[in-house]
A and B are shown apart, each in its own frame.
Chain A
Amino acid sequence: DVKVTQSSRYLVKRTGEKVFLECVQDMDHENMFWYRQDPGLGLRLIYFSYDVKMKEKGDIPEGYSVSREKKERFSLILESASTNQTSMYLCASSVPGQGAFNQPQHFGDGTRLSIL
């Protein structure tokens, strides 16, 4: 079974802090994703990566950056945390798609981040 592990289940930080959320997958997947999940808004894509050191902006990248130095690890960075970044953050991974078809994504349990 694919295992996607997020470093923290709950995290509390202060406004202005630099925050790191870590995600590790154990199935050698090329693709990794970061989403935020807010009530009534569903899952919104922040950033994704299709290879080591490669990254692409999703729909809501403002205020975030990412790092992928190793294939199994994808980090989400909040450069200067703000209260509107309080949310559930979900990491996912997948193998490459076949042509136009995306492959199933495997999700971690999420990090509930509170910015005070």
Chain B
Amino acid sequence: QQPVQSPQAVILREGEDAVINCSSSKALYSVHWYRQKHGEAPVFLMILLKGGEQKGHEKISASFNEKKQQSSLYLTASQLSYSGTYFCGTEHSGYALNFGKGTSLLVTP
């Protein structure tokens, strides 16, 4: 029941855009997004709720497509500080999350 993330890795130049996708085989009520920088703890970015709500954080936004059971994370005009591994999390139960394998993002000057 682990969600599937794509791509596995992406390299960008500063200022470029990227999209990270997260797909689930089961119906979802919400999707979480986290970012983990090298050697640090994962940090919560945002929750997408059932209803297709789009949310934003800095120049990072995300959407949730109920029909496709998919969420996409959009990184606009990427900055060096965006480098890290991005994880999506879907409901495991009323308490816990199933996390994807992660997408490694590297932003170069």
Contacts and interface: CB of A to CB of B under 8 A. Distances in A.
Contacts of B42: 43, 90, 107
Nearest to A96: B95
Interface of A: 4, 31, 33, 35, 40-45, 48, 50, 56, 58-59, 90, 96-97, 99-102, 104-110
A11 to B, nearest CB: 16
Interface stretch (B13-21, B67-75, B96-104): B96-104
B40 A109 contact: yes
B65 interface: no
B49 A102 contact: no
Interface residues of B, number: 26
Contact of B94 (A4, A42, A100): A100
22 contacts: A31-B96, A35-B99, A41-B101, A43-B99, A45-B96, A48-B95, A58-B96, A59-B98, A90-B41, A90-B42, A97-B95, A101-B29, A102-B32, A102-B47, A102-B91, A102-B97, A104-B32, A105-B34, A105-B89, A108-B41, A109-B41, A110-B41
Contacts of B47: 101-102, 104
A24 B42 CA distance: 17
B34 to A, nearest CB: 8
A42 B87 contact: yes
Given A48-B95, A105-B34, 15 more contacts: A31-B96, A40-B101, A42-B99, A43-B102, A44-B99, A45-B98, A50-B95, A56-B96, A58-B96, A59-B92, A100-B94, A101-B49, A102-B95, A106-B44, A107-B42
